[in-house]
Structure 1
Amino acid sequence: MVLTSHSEMEHTDSKTGVWLGEFTDPYYTFIDEGYEVILSSPKGGRPPIDPMSELTEHITASNRRFNDDEQAKDRFAHTIPINQVRQADHDAVFYPGGHGPIWDLAVDNNSGLLILDFLDAGKPVAAVCHGPAALISAEHQRPGFLKGKRVSAFSNAEETLVGRSGNMPYLLQTKLEESGAEVKTALVPFLPHVETDGLLITGQNPLSAGPVAKALITALEQKETPGG
């Protein structure tokens, strides 16, 4: 799992970072299915957490589980710098959201190359909410990569409704569409929505994080099945 290292937003004192539930929901989905999860980030160490994601109304069961899980908290506090991660050592990669990826993972060359390495090796890549901003770096590394790709991501409508559209350098849905991606979203904002396009699995918002993780596990299990 690749987490953002970025906490600052524009024109506001509000902070951002990892949206906690978008990390914890998939993390425990993977752990409970017997997968080993390695955590990484551009800078390494402890990623920032979006304070809004720790408010009572956004707390999930997996958040509470994380707060009581010393091993998970230790892993979170000691993420591996992304330039030390090698595709050959892993079966898949998952990018949680929070607004942070808009700034760092979208322009991180190591992350963009890692995504392309996984896909070129026939391994699935998953991202949720603002995590798909990481695909922009892959597009920079390989122009045309996103053209015709069917993806989901935090929508412009959702961005407006949460009131943060003025605190970002661009809107993610618009940026992905400008790169040629076909962005699919739920008919109603904030409902879960997942898109699978070959090895690329993306989800729209926090409620999509768990479903994206399950879709990724399905993709991995199909790879392990002879003829799958």
Structure 2
Amino acid sequence: MSKILFVYTSVTKTLTGSESGWYLPEAAHPYYILAPLYDIDFAAPLGPNPPVDPASVELFKDEESQKFLADETVKQKLASAKKLSDVDAADYAAIFYVGGHGPVIDLATDPVNVKLANAFWRSNKIVSAVCHGPAALVGVTDAPDPVTGAQGASIFKDRAATCLTYTEETQLQKTDAIPFQPEHKLRELGAKFENAGPFEAKVVVDGRLITGQNPASGKPLGEALLKALKQ
């Protein structure tokens, strides 16, 4: 059975001091699409027990989110989450970055994460992320030119992608909570940025790169990832 790696932030607070962590529905909804068919491992920069954003627990009371919190298998996976430095991309068919403000703070600039994500991308594996999760990919590039050794282009250059929009971040009143705005960064890196209206579901598939806009996009992203894995 092919394996999928879910990557979570280890951040507990934003730059403004508000509580943070990974965003509940963005993990729960794709998990229950994929878990019946694939082995899923969890990982985070600091390893075990990556923190859930308490606001997401309060906001999302849907069946799958509540099931995820109570699921003994999920609890075990979180408690034994791997450190990113202990992960080998060769063991997996795909990587998925769960959102929450945290990835913009830790994963975006974590050299271990950048190396790992590059290993997935450059070995033709599926790379996916939702909401703030695409921030974890801003350091990922195509392989260097084999002849000249020139640096490869950003994973986002001339590829269609999405993430939480600046409009959505503004409505959340969280623009000061993170070091950069994911939408602005993706555009800066050359992405063909696509989005739906605020907090409407949107998933963009460009080859092996699969991105989702916001919490509503978790389930359809899981479905897109499932389809890509079956191809």
TM (norm. structure 1) is 0.91
Match of 2:153 among 144, 149, 163: 144
Q: Which residue of 2 aligns with 1:226?
A: none
CA contact (8 A) 1:10 1:167 kept: yes
Q: Which residue of 1 aligns with 2:195?
A: 185
Q: Which residue of 2 aligns with 1:225?
A: none
Match of 2:169 among 159, 175, 182: 159
Q: Which residue of 1 aligns with 2:31?
A: 27
Identify, as 1 or 2, the structure richer in strand.
2
CA contact (8 A) 1:111 1:138 kept: no
TM (norm. structure 2) is 0.89
Structure 1 residue 126: deviation in Å?
Answer: 0.8
CA distance in 1, matches of 2:178, 2:121: 29
In structure 2, what residue type is equivalent to 1:166? D
Name the % identity. Answer: 37
Identify, as 1 or 2, the structure richer in helix.
1
Superposed CA offset, 1:61-90 (max 9, x none): 112112331121121122100111111111
Question: Using a 3 Å threshold, how does the CA distance of structure 1 residues 109 and 140 change in structure 2: closer, same or farther?
Answer: farther
User: Unpaired runs of 5+ in structure 1?
Assistant: 223-228
In structure 1, what residue type is equivalent to 2:24? L
In structure 1, what residue type is equivalent to 2:18? S
Please state if 1:106 is matched with 2:108.
yes
In structure 1, what residue type is equivalent to 2:44? S
CA distance in 1, matches of 2:33, 2:142: 31
CA distance in 1, matches of 2:70, 2:20: 23
In structure 1, what residue type is equivalent to 2:208? L
Structure 1 residue 156: deviation in Å?
Answer: 0.2
Q: State the secondary structure of the residue aligned to 1:220.
A: helix
Superposed CA offset, 1:117-155 (max 9, x none): 222222111100000001112159955223212111000
CA distance in 2, matches of 1:136, 1:60: 31
Identify which range, 119-128 or 137-146, moves more after superposition. 137-146
CA distance in 2, matches of 1:131, 1:213: 14
CA distance in 1, matches of 2:70, 2:177: 33
Q: Which residue of 1 aligns with 2:41?
A: 38
Structure 1 residue 212: deviation in Å?
Answer: 0.8
User: Unpaired runs of 5+ in structure 2?
Assistant: 1-5, 144-150
Q: Which residue of 2 aligns with 1:6?
A: 11
Question: Using a 3 Å threshold, how does the CA distance of structure 1 residues 115 and 130 change in structure 2: closer, same or farther?
Answer: same
CA distance in 2, matches of 1:143, 1:172: 21
CA contact (8 A) 2:121 2:142 kept: no
CA contact (8 A) 1:151 1:182 kept: yes
In structure 2, what residue type is equivalent to 1:176? L
Equivalenced residues, count: 218
CA contact (8 A) 1:105 1:137 kept: no
Please state if 1:172 is matched with 2:182.
yes
Structure 1 residue 109: deviation in Å?
Answer: 1.8
Structure 1 residue 28: deviation in Å?
Answer: 1.4
Match of 2:133 among 131, 134, 140: 131
Please state if 1:202 is matched with 2:207.
no
CA contact (8 A) 2:118 2:141 kept: no
RMSD of aligned alpha carbons: 1.6
